[in-house]
Amino acid sequence: MHSKYSRASSKNMEPRALSKMGALKGLDLLGTGDFTHPLYLQELKEYLEYERDSGFYVVKNGDKGPRFLLSAEISLIFTQNQKTNRRIHLILIAPNFQVVEEINLYLSKLGNLSADGRPTFGISAERLTLDLLKISPDILVIPAHAWTPWYSVFGAFSGFDTLEEAFGEATPYIYAIETGLSSDPEMNWRISALDKIALVSNSDAHSPGKIGREATAFFYPMTYENFYRSIKENKIAYTIEFYPEEGKYHLDGHRSCKVSLNPKETIELGYICPVCGQPLTIGVLHRIEKLADRPDNLIPENKPYSVHLVPLVEILAEVFNLNPNTKTLQKLYDQYVEKIGTEFDILLKKNLSELSSLLPEKLYLAIKRVREGRVYVKGGYDGVYGIVKIFEEPEPENCPFPKQKSLF
């Protein structure tokens, strides 16, 4: 996630507000985001204290809430193999503030850390990763939103076809990729080269309400050592997913012309917008189709569950016909969380028979349908978020119910 020092981020993206919202969501562990920014790092040191037993951090003198690990996202723009504008975003995770200080000292020689919460550097992913691991072998480097068209390791316009192309000698130290909002693990399973890579999901939140829209579940005990080992050994429990169709780069298209296309249609059009004649933005589904070496109905063995959810705020907005950004809706959200339990308790864990006695009938039916994967989805494209509806019947030939596994 990001702090208030990143572009287009809420002023409430700071440790105390994140801890409070994380508790409402039902999250046990949050990333701090943006530890590279000098002012935010000062705040993190002021408000967080190290918890020796877990190796994570907690808010000082605060109510019991989620633990924190030290995280940041950085942007790399570099030339490699005579190709300019290689653009990759990377998540950095560090074990403690001492290591963060050493990372920031190294990065400060490459660029201005104060310019943005997500700073930009002109160094290759391979060189940066190898240099960071010299600082500490306990640092994790994870390619962020790995499939989006720009600024990602597999991006259609800026990335590579394999991790080896991108990271060279550092490839053995890349233990995970973040699938991003526009793809899910099932889509990534189509690429056999990723079988040994942990597929993690994070919210990429710029405001507190967005945290937990995607998440990764780990096995206990909740310690930094176990967290690190789970990533390295690809032994996560399961992931909580956006419907990838809702992601704003799932399909191909052209936003200004309101053109949305599937990969087959794009190929038939020669990758050109049929309205204006300009090149189309190639989406995540298309990119995965291009690199896939497995059919989409093949499920490799021993893969973690993924559970697709609709955020509780979006469910409440549809059920009660409210604008998602109103105070009325936030009060309604708070009311149900206080009455029943955390958001994840309501969406995932509470027995449906118990919910039926606690919720209005339509809200109960909405949550039941979400758990069963019976929702309407319309794919996002070229920066436009997709649409997920619960009670609007889909057109069978265009919008089938997504596949959904039941975890609980």
The pLDDT tens digits of the residues spanning 336-360 come to 999 999 999 999 999 999 999 999 9
209 in a structural domain: yes
Residue ranges making up the domain that contains 39: 15-242
- Same domain for 191 and 316, yes or no, is no
Last residue of a domain, one of 184, 212, 242: 242
What percent of the chain has pLDDT above 70? 96
Beta partners for 75?
89, 120
- Same domain for 221 and 325, yes or no, is no
Checking if the pLDDT of 408 tops 90, the result is no
300 in a structural domain: no
- Same domain for 150 and 25, yes or no, is yes
- Same domain for 225 and 349, yes or no, is no
* Nearest one of 231, 223, 221, 249 to 176, comparing CA atoms: 231
384 in a structural domain: no
Q: What is the pLDDT of residue 160?
A: 96
The pLDDT tens digits of the residues spanning 201-219 come to 999 999 999 999 999 999 9
Q: What is the pLDDT of residue 405?
A: 46
Measured CA to CA in angstroms, residue 43 lies from 16, 32, 115, 348, 384 at distances of 10, 11, 17, 34, 34
Q: What is the pLDDT of residue 300?
A: 84
- Same domain for 32 and 155, yes or no, is yes
The enclosing domain of 229 has a CATH number of 3.20.20
Last residue of a domain, one of 200, 219, 242: 242
262 in a structural domain: no
Inter-residue contact 264 to 251 (CB < 8 Å): no
Rounded Cα gap, residues 162 and 155, in angstroms: 11
- Same domain for 315 and 187, yes or no, is no
- Same domain for 227 and 327, yes or no, is no
The pLDDT tens digits of the residues spanning 313-336 come to 999 999 999 988 899 999 999 999
- Same domain for 22 and 171, yes or no, is yes
Inter-residue contact 72 to 33 (CB < 8 Å): yes
- Same domain for 234 and 315, yes or no, is no
160 in a structural domain: yes
Q: What is the pLDDT of residue 393?
A: 58
The pLDDT tens digits of the residues spanning 263-272 come to 999 999 999 9
291 in a structural domain: no
- Same domain for 43 and 168, yes or no, is yes
* Strands in 36-136 per DSSP E: 48-51, 56-59, 67-80, 83-94, 120-121
Inter-residue contact 136 to 94 (CB < 8 Å): yes
How many domains is the chain partitioned into structurally?
2
Q: What is the pLDDT of residue 299?
A: 80
| pLDDT band, residue 302 (cuts 50/70/90) | confident
Rounded Cα gap, residues 222 and 6, in angstroms: 28
Checking if the pLDDT of 404 tops 80, the result is no
The pLDDT tens digits of the residues spanning 141-172 come to 999 999 999 999 999 998 999 999 999 999 99
The pLDDT tens digits of the residues spanning 87-113 come to 999 999 999 999 999 999 999 999 999
The least confident of 12-26, 32-46, 292-306 is 292-306
- Same domain for 24 and 158, yes or no, is yes
199 in a structural domain: yes
394 in a structural domain: no
The pLDDT tens digits of the residues spanning 180-193 come to 999 999 999 999 99
- Same domain for 27 and 174, yes or no, is yes
Q: What is the pLDDT of residue 407?
A: 41
Checking if the pLDDT of 400 tops 60, the result is no
Last residue of a domain, one of 227, 242, 257: 242
